[in-house]
């Protein structure tokens, strides 16, 4: 909403998003008295992945619709996380493979003749964002303290934000509404949402975590339709149905022979 309507520039959106997320998480961790430093809670590498994801995401959405951007994003998340899962020893069952193929086919419908072709530069930026988010999620599976890890990652990522701020030379521009939307994105849907995501990752294989995230483009598409008055094409509807159906199939555990 903020980026499409020009309420804020991408760099300022990223700065306010990560900065507000870090601040809120630091306050919550202090209130929760979760200051233990036992174990590995976050890292500079995870923070870099978070920063690259957020910055590329912001620049990509200047030229992409909500649903298309999310489909590109999580298509590359899939490739990153599933490749990582296979390399680390995950062995999907048949239902997971079939469900994944159906979901990916739904994503691929964007590229069929007649589909609205996304802006190339925006698509490339979103691809970078997807790879970075996939790596961030993969690294999150080794974290035992979701709140501590996410707080540390956001705090470290803000250091990269400060570097970005120094590189910005008078090109920032945002309205009050743009700033409010960016802070809401950082403090609530990013900061608190990513704590929940790291918590969920403790119970999911890399491949199942990747599959679950394929629901995001569908949710984002619905948000674009109802909140931003974006059109719903038949192609997008069928694509969304295939993605959700594939996820449902993949998450159904195969019965073991008696």
Q: How many CB atoms sit inside 10 A of residue 128's CB?
A: 18
Residue count of the chain = 258
Cα-based torsion angle of the residue sequence 250, 65, 16, 54 in order, rounded to the nearest 10 degrees: 50
62: buried, middle or exposed (CB in 10 Å: 19+, 13-18, 0-12)? Answer: middle
Q: Which of 187, 183, 203 is nearest to 150 (CA)?
A: 187
pLDDT value for 258:
39
Residue 200: pLDDT band with limits 50, 70, 90: confident
Spatial contact of 49 and 13, defined as CB atoms under 8 Å apart: no
How confident is the model over 104-142, as pLDDT tens digits?
A: 787 777 555 555 567 889 989 999 999 999 999 998 887
Greatest mean pLDDT among 17-26, 91-100, 227-236 lies in 17-26
- Provide the residue ranges of all domains of the chain, joining segments of one domain with +: 10-251
106, 239 Cβ separation under 8 angstroms: yes
Q: Rounded distance, CA 249 to CA 100, Å?
A: 8
Q: Is the pTM of this model over 0.85?
A: no
């Amino acid at each position: 909403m903020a980026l499409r309507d020009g309420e804020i520039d991408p760099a300022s959106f990223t700065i306010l998003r990560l900065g507000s997320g870090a601040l809120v998480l630091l306050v919550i961790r202090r209130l929760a008295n979760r200051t233990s430093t036992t174990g590995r809670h976050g890292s500079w590498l995870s923070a870099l992945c978070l920063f690259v994801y957020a910055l590329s995401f912001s620049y990509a959405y200047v030229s992409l619709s909500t649903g298309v951007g999310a489909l590109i994003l999580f298509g590359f998340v899939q490739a990153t996380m599933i490749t990582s899962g296979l390399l680390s020893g995950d062995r999907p069952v048949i239902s997971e493979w079939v469900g994944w193929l159906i979901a990916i086919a739904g994503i691929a419908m964007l590229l069929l003749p007649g589909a609205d072709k996304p802006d190339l530069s925006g698509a490339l930026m979103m691809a970078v964002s997807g790879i970075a988010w996939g790596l961030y999620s993969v690294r999150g599976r080794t974290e035992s303290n979701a709140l501590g890890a996410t707080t540390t990652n956001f705090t470290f990522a803000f250091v990269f934000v400060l570097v970005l701020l120094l590189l910005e030379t008078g090109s920032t521009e945002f309205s009050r509404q743009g700033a409010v939307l960016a802070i809401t994105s950082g403090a609530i849907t990013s900061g608190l949402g990513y704590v929940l995501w790291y918590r969920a990752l403790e119970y999911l294989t890399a491949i199942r975590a990747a599959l679950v995230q394929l629901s995001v483009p569908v949710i984002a598409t619905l948000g674009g339709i109802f909140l931003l008055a974006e059109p719903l094409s038949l192609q997008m509807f069928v694509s969304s149905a295939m993605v959700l159906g594939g996820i449902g199939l993949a998450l159904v555990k195969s019965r073991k022979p008696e």
